[in-house]
Structure 1
Amino acid sequence: MRYLGFILLLGLFSYQPAPKFPSKLSDYGLFQGDLKNHVPNVGVTPYELISPLFSDYAHKLRFIQLPAGQSVAYNPDSVFQFPVGTRIAKTFYYPMDERNPKGGRRIMETRILSHEPSGWVALPYIWNEEQTEAYLEVAGGTSLVEFKNQQGKKQQVNYVIPNMNQCKGCHERDGIMTPIGPSARQMNASMRYAHGDENQLDYWSRSNQMSEVPVSRPKFVSYIDESAAINDRVKAYLDINCAHCHNPKGPAKSSGLFLDYRYYGTTAYGMMKSPVAAGRGSGGLLYDIVAGKPSESILHYRMNSQDPGVMMPELGRTIIHQEGVALIREWIKSIN
């Protein structure tokens, strides 16, 4: 009995209760006024990415809240390393009609990345039908949404909200959760603030949210910018849509296919590279990329599929990104 009592006492000291998170998005206090309008409170900064991740044609609103009195250190190469206490909010929505942005929208979810002392935690909040509140749903969910695209054509998406564990599939590096988008190369662009347009990195520096921002810094092109060089568009596209998994520290590291922009031009980027344990995902094709031949390239094949056992990315989309596939197709055709 004395031994059992010691074990129980030891358990009391070693047990770490799971952190409790708000059940409602409004409880974070990120926004003022009508929640659906996403007007940031003091200390909450909106941001944009030059080349954002494709998510079934959903539009996104992005915000970061740093701990009071703290800033993030600038670095030119990787996602910024935010201090403990940081919260990143990303809201996914569909305009009723993409030709009329002021004509109303359907908000699907807001994902919160919270930097806890134990590491980053991903929390999905699903918006109600009334569009008045979003509620924490650790199991995720699905919801059918309809909208009209830029051509006025009616679109229908069975929108999937990932559960907390699925978030790890994209956000982990060496088993550690980390943000994906906010980096110098993605944020080195002008954004409209209440006071007017200003480069985001300059604004963060001027408002003491970022330290030691140099004059010279990297910058992606927008992959939808057809006036930009196709090589630069492809580097930006594959980096944001694929490289969070396909890198030497990501969940797909065993594939040996690394689509981080810094690997462009190497064998690891896929040129005449044989797949590793791709199974039927290879479609019977022999190489990830075959110069001049998209139809013989596994990269193009998997991007152009909706088969859950074939398609890439595995998470984050249920339909084909037609413009992304077209970009990769034209790029492969242009390779000599």
Structure 2
Amino acid sequence: MSKFLRFALWSLVASVLGFAVLTHHSSATGSREDFPAKLSQWKLIQRAGDRLAAAPSGVTYELATPLFTDYALKWRVLFIPNGQKAAYNPDRAFDLPVGTVIAKTFYYPVTPADHTGESADVLKARASDYQDGVGGLRLAHVRLMETRLLVHRAGGWVALPYVWDEDQRDATLERVGDAIPLTMVDGAERKDFVYVVPNANDCANCHAPNFTAGEINHIEPIGIKARHLNRDFPGKFGTINQLTRLQRLGYLTGAPAVASAPRNVDWHDERLPVDARARSYLDINCSHCHSPVGAARTTGLWFDQGHEHGADWASPRRIGVCKQIVAGGHGGGGLPFDVAPGEPEKSILLYRLRSNVPGTMMPEIGRSLVHAEGIALVRSWIERMEGQCRLASEQ
């Protein structure tokens, strides 16, 4: 049996687990920096038989469209302290109480053959094949890569990357990150790549909500927003809307009726308009930087579907249509417009999404592979746009 597929089978008594969660929430409010060295010490997610299961207070959730991370699948669990509630916000991340922990476990399906050396064969797959909101994450044919914790302490949010040990029994805190060689298998095609676990400081590159105020050391969650959570997902109370579930559990206050809440769409769903799918894809993958207050605010190219900054999100120019490049150096490939309607091959946006060259590729961090399916969606979106761009010199 492969060393990557040797699993320790064990479980915890529910009462002990519940006590540990309460203990954790107490420590999460303090100011000490002595975080547990092992993920299991948090007592939030544990090996339980053939699954990775959450403590009773945890709520598994999924985003309407998730961020692309080298085809890794993600199991997300939200832990809110007993008796506390999150405050709803229609655009920004919910106001989550001190003591909240968000756990996101990255994993891959693996080929059934044994593996030797440091590299492993990993496969493209759907998260729904391996996880649900009731039983947790099924582990029979997956390799766990890392679990990232976002911990809300009295002084703000702290990001902690835990890398799963080679024997898959536990994960170890690695503040400096890690680099793990893998091989992606897609049909007959094989591609070697390096899966990069970011160091704790790198998290601010995406999770810092406001660069205009110089708050690059202040971070907050990205996915816990109304538009990302406003979808059905199986879990407690059955398959229902996730905002409804949080309200029924007493974890969320101030939310409107689901029909009145913002909603991104599933970018995979080909029954939906390409425009809505592409905007949702660009929102989750790009808007943490490309917004009026993000790290890429000076580009004038904004993909945030929220409205908290009063921008005109319906303006085609804000999503790059016929907008000439204002930043990016040589990363534009000599192309004049961010998005050229009907001409994807002349659009800087598509050029940078297809690149793996540092200084050109977008997003700049968080991936080593090109997302072929995402690129196909953005190409189709641009192809269907109407209009024609003219350079300022031609007008």
Asked whether the two chains share a fold, i.e. TM above 0.5, the reply is yes
With normalisation by structure 1, the TM-score equals 0.89
- Give, in whole Å, the separation in 1 of the partners of 2:54 and 2:31: 31
> Percent of counterpart pairs with the same letter?
42
**Is this contact kept in 1: 2:67–2:285, CA < 8 A?**
yes
- Pairs within 5 Å for 1:58-137: 58-96=72-110, 97=123, 101=130, 104-137=141-174
RMSD of equivalent CA atoms: 2.1
State the AA in 2 paired with 1:166: D
What's the secondary structure of 1:325's corresponding residue? helix
Superposition deviation, residue 107 in structure 1: 0.6
State the AA in 1 paired with 2:179: T
What's the secondary structure of 2:379's corresponding residue? helix
Determine the structure 2 residue equivalent to 1:46. Answer: 60
**Is this contact kept in 1: 2:181–2:192, CA < 8 A?**
yes
- Give, in whole Å, the separation in 2 of the partners of 1:303 and 1:29: 39
Determine the structure 1 residue equivalent to 2:389. Answer: none
1:232-289 per-residue CA deviation (whole Å, 9 max, x = no partner) reads 0011001000000101111111222111125243322211112223111111111111
Superposition deviation, residue 156 in structure 1: 3.9
What's the secondary structure of 1:38's corresponding residue? strand
State which of 331, 334, 348 in structure 2 corresponds to 1:284.
334
- Give, in whole Å, the separation in 2 of the partners of 1:32 and 1:56: 25
Identify if the C-alpha distance between structure 1 residues 23 and 35 changes in structure 2 by more than 3 Å, giving closer, same or farther. farther
- Give, in whole Å, the separation in 2 of the partners of 1:264 and 1:319: 31
1:61-104 per-residue CA deviation (whole Å, 9 max, x = no partner) reads 00111122101012222221211111101000001155675651
- Pairs within 5 Å for 1:1-336: 19-34=33-48, 37-96=51-110, 97=123, 101=130, 104-146=141-183, 148-149=185-186, 151=187, 153-154=189-190, 156-174=192-210, 175=215, 176-193=218-235, 195-215=237-257, 216=259, 217-262=261-306, 263-336=313-386
Unaligned runs of 5+ in 1: 1-15
Unaligned runs of 5+ in 2: 1-29, 111-122, 131-137, 307-312, 387-395
Identify if the C-alpha distance between structure 1 residues 315 and 22 changes in structure 2 by more than 3 Å, giving closer, same or farther. same
State the AA in 2 paired with 1:106: R
- Give, in whole Å, the separation in 2 of the partners of 1:300 and 1:323: 12
**Is this contact kept in 2: 1:35–1:132, CA < 8 A?**
no
- Give, in whole Å, the separation in 2 of the partners of 1:140 and 1:198: 36
- Give, in whole Å, the separation in 2 of the partners of 1:319 and 1:147: 9
1:7-53 per-residue CA deviation (whole Å, 9 max, x = no partner) reads xxxxxxxxx98622111111111024439832111211111111000
1:158-188 per-residue CA deviation (whole Å, 9 max, x = no partner) reads 1110111111111112222111112111111
- Give, in whole Å, the separation in 1 of the partners of 2:359 and 2:367: 13
What's the secondary structure of 2:162's corresponding residue? strand
